[in-house]
Amino acid sequence: MSAQKPRTLFDKIWDAHVVETLPDGTALLYIDLHLTHEVTTPQAFDGLRAAGRGIRRPEATLGVIDHNIATDSSRYTGIVDPESALQVATLEKNAAEFGMPLIPLLDERQGIVHVIGPELGRSLPGMTIVCGDSHTSTHGAMGALAFGIGTSEVEHVLATQTLLQKPAKNMRISVDGNLAFGCSGKDIVLAIIGRIGTAGGTGHVIEYAGDAIRALDMAGRMTVCNMTIEGGARAGMVAPDQTTYDYIARTPNGPKGAALARAMEWWKTLPTDAGAHFDTELRLNAHEIAPQVTWGTNPEAVLPITGIVPNPADVTDEAKRAQTQRMVDYMGLTPGQRLTDLKVDVVFIGSCTNSRIEDIRAAAAIAKGRRVADGVRAMVVPGSGLVKKAAEAEGLDRILKEAGFEWREAGCSMCLGMNPDKLTPGQRSASTSNRNFEGRQGPGGRTHLLSPAMAAAAALAGHLADVRDYQPKEAL
Amino acid sequence: MRAFTTLTGVAAPLPKANVDTDQIIPARFLKSISRSGFGKNLFANFRFKEDGSENPDFVLNQEPYRKAEVLIAFENFGCGSSREHAPWALLDFGIRCVIAPDFADIFHNNCFKNGVLPVRLPKDVCAQLMEDAKLGANARITVDLEREVVVRPNGEEIPFKIDPLRRHLMLNGLDDIGQTMQHAPAIDSFEAKQKAAQPWLYA
Ligand code: SF4
């Protein structure tokens, strides 16, 4: 084929994975890596069993336990909650029966599925990656096409290593210039969702581009891609570059030597061609982004930390006004109140959005030599056993514990309110996770999303705080 | 999967946008390892007060909506988590069709795999149907997938469109894994080619 039409990163990965195109345009898409966890798989394995089917490529499948487990020491003595224990035992039993590789709960590689995939070198550029979890978009930071699927689709991939998919539209969001002092990938993505809204990306795959994205480390890129789903898009991606290759070279299971060289040859052809078509384009100036915090109950309800609580009376659209009122009421806010005046009860640093070593370093840098405010429960939950080990080797756990933070075992923890780490009704949290929905962190809980550095600042201040006022006292 | 052909029933009005899957079924109820039984916790945070008693203000606690088979809502229904427990909970409660201006992608997919029909209609039409639904038991709505129409209580027909492949699977209650299995030779040859070109994926 000569003079091929310029293609986007998404187009190239898509084209390379189409097994067949059905008459109505639906593609049978090949899946290179299927990650599984305990919550969204039991019914899929039941389906396989009932139909007498097996896993087509167990070696392209990897299971891990992350969602429902406690992050205290109870995993060493036996899971306390009987339903959680059954779900974990079911995954273990299914893994054994169907020959699926599974990272055991007490293995140091255990962790949140979206942390361990890249960290182990299993999530690689150019791959198609799926998992029964919406934040699978995280892996797009590697330059992969990665998206969340439901349990029926989990069963479909287990049985056939493929999925039936309609092509998505291409969107490019360019973040130009340098990120301002005190800001991170989290602030970029929150600002983007504030701009496009929770459904702004519907039907699209978003490619993030621009100097500010290029300048992010892999953890920052993962944070941005992770929250892409909160903007309604199917997936988020960043083209692979030297930062990506250097990261992969450090992973335990990534390709090495000649295999790596050969892979890189292909990976280098992946970035979007000049002149490729995007259905939607958006540009942001990085230096206009200030540290962000959400005030309402969806991630679009976000403001710079210097902002004030909106007044529903100022909203002209009737449905929007009612929604704003509902959010203000649920969150226990007063219109016009300064965000920095909101007292917090709990600070949660963790989740697949922000629990990597870079995130923990950012929090520790702010916390070092300071104290968590009285009455605030502050917890740091590393994304994986390997992150925990690395942080401990750097002494970050000690810095955080001395400042009054809890240092916990890896898992999803307080991100979703299905394990013992939960808010109680009315409690206000500053959280580095990705969803501030009503009841997400526990019934009646009130969640403010922000970056790890901002979360650390809130823990020290006892209220939402501007991290720019809390610069590191001493170097780490 | 149970086939969906046509359905006539009570529709419950839920005049909200961005109804996320944490609202549909909160995470603390996701610990079951079966597909059934989620209906009792559908919209748990709205249906029940903190002490576990019913909240009489929530639509699904009112007659005749306790038996609703259709749900009508506003934009971006089903956003958030990929949990298929959301359509399972709807189905287990008895709701087999959701009508809204648009749906989040993963939820939309998940519905089709479970015989729950998501119907996209413009916002003003949803608002109209919501008014119809408020009339309760005297105002049944018909959703006809065969003819791709919603029939209002006054007999007016509103057309909608469903992807032809999905419509076919839904009408016949077909499992798409079986369909895909028929493409096994194509998958085999894809793998052989990919293995030669990208051996690191097979290491
Ligand atoms: S950390 Fe939260 S968002 Fe991420 S996988 Fe776990 S529950 Fe889902």
CB of A251 within 8 Å of any CB in chain B? no
Structural contact between residues A122 and A105, judged by C-beta atoms closer than 8 angstroms? no
Contacts of B186 in chain A (CB under 8 A): 19-20, 28
CB spacing of B191 vs A151 below 8 angstroms = no
Instruction: List the pLDDT tens digit at each of the 476 positions of chain A.
Output: 446 899 999 999 999 999 999 988 999 999 999 999 999 999 999 999 988 999 999 999 999 999 999 999 999 998 999 999 999 999 999 999 999 999 999 999 999 999 999 999 999 999 999 999 999 999 999 999 999 999 999 999 999 999 999 999 999 999 999 999 999 999 999 999 999 999 999 999 999 999 999 999 999 999 999 999 999 999 999 999 999 999 999 999 999 999 999 999 999 999 999 999 999 999 999 999 999 999 999 999 999 999 999 999 999 998 889 999 999 999 999 999 999 999 999 999 999 999 999 999 999 999 999 999 999 999 999 999 999 999 999 999 999 999 999 999 999 999 998 899 999 999 999 999 999 999 999 999 999 999 999 999 999 999 999 999 998 877 77
ipTM of the complex: 0.94
Q: What is the pTM of this model?
A: 0.94
CB of A325 within 8 Å of any CB in chain B? no
Please compute Rg for chain A using Cα positions: 22
Distance of residue B100 Cα from the nearest chain A Cα, in angstroms: 14
A427 C-alpha to ligand 1 centroid (Å)? 20
Ligand 1 nearest-atom number relative to CA A66: 6
Please compute Rg for chain B using Cα positions: 19
Residues 6 or more apart whose Cβ sits within 8 Å of residue A235: A10, A136, A137, A140, A145, A146, A147, A168, A205, A206, A225, A228
Which residues line the pocket of ligand 1, CB cutoff 6 A? A 66-67, 112-114, 133, 135, 351-352, 412, 415-416, 433-434
Distance of residue A150 Cα from the nearest chain B Cα, in angstroms: 5
Distance of residue A320 Cα from the nearest chain B Cα, in angstroms: 9
Tokens of B48: 């029940």
The 10 Å Cβ neighbour count of residue B156 is: 11
Protein residue whose Cα sits closest to atom 6 of ligand 1: A412
A352 C-alpha to ligand 1 centroid (Å)? 5
Taking phi over 0 as left and psi of -120 to 50 as alpha, with beta for the rest, B37 belongs to left
Dist CA A70 CA B190 (whole Å): 42
